[in-house]
Amino acid sequence: MAKREIPEINAGSMADIAFLLLIFFLVTTTMDKDMAYMRAIPKRIENPEPPLPIEKRNICLILANSQNQLMVRGELMTDPDEISEKVKEFYTANEKVNDPKNKFPMYSTISMSQIEQKILQAEKELEETENTPDVMPEIVEFKQAQWDKWVKKKEALEMLGKPQLREIHFQAHVRIEVQKNTSYELFTKIHSELREAIFDLRDEVANDLFGESYGVIHKRYISNEGDKDKQVEASEDKKKIDLLKILYPDRFIEVTPKK
């Protein structure tokens, strides 16, 4: 059979097709990132028990009213940029030495042997509740969480490399109370300042302990987390982050406005 020449396909319109696709994607997509402050909403409880009384020194109260005026720990504040300084002071005032005279949360000290005792105790309690017939799953969950907490503290102290772990009072928290007409701008400003304060504090410790900033560790952890080959590094970074979170916990309470 005679050899037939294959006619060349005209690829001249290929560029047009590609341009069409390109323009479609340019129109339907955006490049700007969505940035936000993530907050957990507390679980709804059917019949809440009356809350335990909390010492005033353990609350960092941030008030914002409908006229967008600010009050932090009982002092009027005209410049919202100062919130982060106040929050930092709240966290660090008693960090080195406890001073019962001031109005800031106390720090407690715990040693390795004490933590190990607590782990054993939590383990025993967990086992007991699991073996109790007809036990509510919430209680088992709670005991499990208790045990996890102590194990995490042990890891944190190992990471810290000091004989003792100094921790802020377990009730110390930041309480945000706004009114219904407070602007969203001020509300997010408060969150921004809180985030900045916590970030700065963690940065400082991270630089002392590991020679790199919290931001760097956190970013690397996020990028390594999903990578199967980098699990070792990710778990190491996770431990570092856990320690920093124990030292400066982000405990924020947002109160639903009544008026």
Partner 1 sequence: MSKFKKDSGKSAPGINTSSLPDIVFMLLFFFMVATTTKEADPTVRVVQPEGVRATDMTPYKQRSEIDFVYLGKPMNKARIKDFKSGFALFLDNVAQPDPGELYSTNVIRQWKLDKFNTKPASMNKPIESVITCVKADKEAPTGMIFDMRNELQEINALQIAYAVKDLGNI
Whether the CB-CB separation of 103 and 56 falls below 8 Å is answered with yes
Assess 191 for contact with partner 1 (CB under 8 A): yes
Torsion sign (Cα): 228, 233, 236, 241:
negative
HSE value, Cβ hemisphere, 13 Å, CA-based, for 253: 13
Q: Which stretch binds partner 1 (CB under 8 A): 92-100, 113-121, 191-199, 204-212?
A: 191-199
Whether the CB-CB separation of 170 and 15 falls below 8 Å is answered with no
Query: In terms of CB distance, is 110 or 241 closer to partner 1?
Result: 241
Assess 182 for contact with partner 1 (CB under 8 A): yes
Q: Binding partner 1 by CB under 8 A: which of 1, 2, 15, 232?
A: 15
The minimum distance between CB 16 and partner 1, in angstroms, equals 9
**Torsion on CA atoms 180, 184, 186, 191, rounded to nearest 10:** 110
Assess 185 for contact with partner 1 (CB under 8 A): yes
Cα-based angle 80, 81, 86 (whole degrees, multiple of 5):
90
Q: Whole-angstrom Cα distance, residue 23 to residue 19?
A: 6
Assess 120 for contact with partner 1 (CB under 8 A): no
Tokens matching residue 256: 């639903």
Assess 10 for contact with partner 1 (CB under 8 A): no
Assess 257 for contact with partner 1 (CB under 8 A): yes
Assess 65 for contact with partner 1 (CB under 8 A): no
Assess 229 for contact with partner 1 (CB under 8 A): no
Q: Which stretch binds partner 1 (CB under 8 A): 21-29, 52-60, 130-138, 241-249?
A: 21-29
Strand order of the sheet with strand 75-77? 75-77, 70-72, 59-64, 173-178, 252-255
Q: Whole-angstrom Cα distance, residue 227 to residue 70?
A: 44
Q: Which stretch binds partner 1 (CB under 8 A): 88-96, 103-111, 183-191, 231-239?
A: 183-191
- Binding residue count for partner 1, defined by CB under 8 A: 48
Query: In terms of CB distance, is 5 or 34 closer to partner 1?
Result: 34
Binding residues for partner 1, rule: CB under 8 A, are 11-12, 14-15, 17-19, 21-22, 25-26, 28-31, 33-44, 178-189, 191-192, 195-196, 199, 215, 254, 256-257
